[in-house]
A and B are shown apart, each in its own frame.
Chain A
Amino acid sequence: MENILEIDRLTKRFTDWEHFSLKSRTILDQISLEVKPGEIFGFLGPNGAGKTTTIKALMGIIRPSSGTARIMGHDILERSQEVKKRTGFLPENPYFYDYLTVGEFLRFCAALFGITGRQARQRTAELLELVGMSPAAGLPLRKCSKGMLQRTGIAQSLVNDPEFLVWDEPVSGLDPIGRKEVKDLMLELKKRGKTIFFSSHILPDAEALCDRVGIIVGGRMHRVGTLPELLKDSVSWIEVVAQHLPEGFALDGAGTQKVAGQLLIRLEGPESLDPALKKIMQAGGSVISVVPQRENLENYFARQVRTAKEAGQ
């Protein structure tokens, strides 16, 4: 089956007045990626990488400077109406009309798709139930908390029962329970055959959720693939905590640190674990814990940015 989303060399330059002259900044530099039907695709990158800009271009909020994108086979500019009828969009930090209530807003959104009357009320009730906002249906949007706005935003993105969802930072602004609920919702929607393209700057959001991820750094597509594939070459180490070790105990190629009477040993790579444990036993020590550590996405990004910059020079 054809791809749900195809971005081909999408480029966006912003022109601004700066110090009395026009300056053009390239925010997106030839972004290309593909999203397959039925998958959850995580669009990851540090703050300011260009995730929101890419999504805005896809949704027709800004015009690409060059390059194209197709959603469900339709060009996003030439066939925008077809695309929009079958797509649901959640903006970053959503904000809605403060003069409407949650329920009124959802009915307004439904009406834009020609869903009115009893059908609209029913659809609204279902969606409120789905995002856990039923008790707040009559609440004015100006009184909603950030999390409630986020949930309302998710509900409005589903009002036309779209096949493809584009969500910008769907779990930001939510507490841990809310995060879990939204992630469960994403898996549920996937089960119903929807395709989800969402952005995040936090790795744990993507883990155990995404079929594939794309990493964007500084406006350039860095890599696309499954998470284990991408993090394969990321730095990992093992932390061993032991006690009852003699003074001056040391291991080759491992850093040690005394913490509250115990020794924290940092081992590079899993192959050094067995010999290290043996040595600890022989020295009469006892092992308290062995915890494999992986570089977090922030560090990973920082490293990628450094490499990207060095490559650029």
Chain B
Amino acid sequence: MRRIFTIAANTFRETVRDRVLYGLVAFALVILPGSRLVITLSVGQEVRILKDFGFGAIALFGLLIAVVSGTALLFKELDKRTIYVLVAKPVKRWELLVGKYFGLLATLLLAFLIMGITLILTLLLMGGKPDGLFFLTIAGLFGQLAVITAVAMLFSTLAAPALSAVFTFCVYIAGTAADQLRLFADRMPGDLLKTAAQAVSYVIPNLQNFNFRAESIYNLPVDQSKIWLMLAYAALYITFALTVASIILERKDLK
């Protein structure tokens, strides 16, 4: 536990010092003037459009952090051989992986905090108010990216950052359309093809479990069970991805 925390804290320090947060300041500077534009364009719809725009931007910036850092962290450690010193200390490889994961998650959380506060301020400025659904939506976005970060780290045990990033991005796209994907798989011709497609559609994380954007923007009621499902699904999927990643890393010769 202590070692995982130490590595997480160090990873947090690494990613924060890695100029990721500077990009977020830029985000804050984009969304404020961006909201002005919205006001003049659509009278009466400002708050709704601002929310939509804000959620989209948070998802996009969060995705960038998760994919870029998630795929690069382990690779950098291997590439620059800084991992040698870690492995020779009483740190197990899975502890290293899990520590790095939570360190990156902490950075992501900080980023969400900065972006969320900026969005709330803009919202208040325009006479809107964040409600429970607003926070739930942002939590959902964070949940998606927590899963995607784990996927990015899993790919990074197998491939170089650029390739892992492309794969992770594909998983994100597929994951946000998971239900459609499943329907599509069910209609595949031929048993073999169908089974294969279904298997793929189940391995890919269903990110629709985390999506409250529609409810939030149109003020629809949310089912309690959907929240529990989201939490359980995230925990399970992250455990699954990190376990597979650990098994791969454990057997690997570090070069």
Contacts and interface: CB of A to CB of B under 8 A. Distances in A.
B90 A89 contact: no
Nearest to B10: A108
Size category, A interface:
20 to 34
Given A62-B253, A99-B14, A112 B84 contact: no
Given A91-B84, A96-B82, A109 B89 contact: yes
Which of B2, B10, B85, B253 has its CB near the most chain A CB atoms (within 10 A)?
A: B85
Nearest to A111: B6
Interface in B12-69: 13-14, 17-18
Interface in B73-109: 80-82, 84-92
Contact of A94 (B17, B18, B85, B92): B85
B2 A156 contact: no
B88 A87 contact: yes
Nearest to B88: A89
B91 to A, nearest CB: 6
A62 B254 contact: yes
A112 B251 CA distance: 22
A156 B89 CA distance: 10
B17 A112 contact: no
Given A95-B80, A96-B82, A97-B82, A59 B14 contact: no
A65 B2 CA distance: 33
B187 interface: no
Contacts of A156: 85
Nearest to B6: A111
A285 B42 CA distance: 110
B82 A112 contact: no
A30 B6 CA distance: 38
Contacts of A87: 88
A108 B254 contact: no
Size category, B interface:
20 to 34
Contacts of A85: 90
Contacts of B17: 99
Interface in B198-255: 251, 253-255
A113 B89 contact: yes
Contacts of A60: 87-88
A99 B89 contact: no
B253 A112 contact: no
Contacts of A109: 85, 89
Contact of B6 (A62, A80, A100, A108): A108
Nearest to B7: A112
Nearest to A168: B84
B89 A61 contact: no
B3 interface: yes
A60 B2 CA distance: 21
A190 to B, nearest CB: 21
A84 B87 CA distance: 9
8 contacts: A61-B88, A80-B90, A95-B82, A96-B85, A97-B10, A108-B10, A111-B6, A160-B89
Interface of B: 2-3, 6-7, 10, 13-14, 17-18, 80-82, 84-92, 251, 253-255
Interface of A: 56, 59-63, 80-81, 84-85, 87, 89, 91, 94-97, 99-100, 108-109, 111-114, 153, 156, 160
Question: Which 7 A-B residue pairs are closest in the complex by CB-CB distance?
Answer: A89-B88, A62-B253, A111-B6, A84-B90, A59-B88, A91-B84, A99-B17
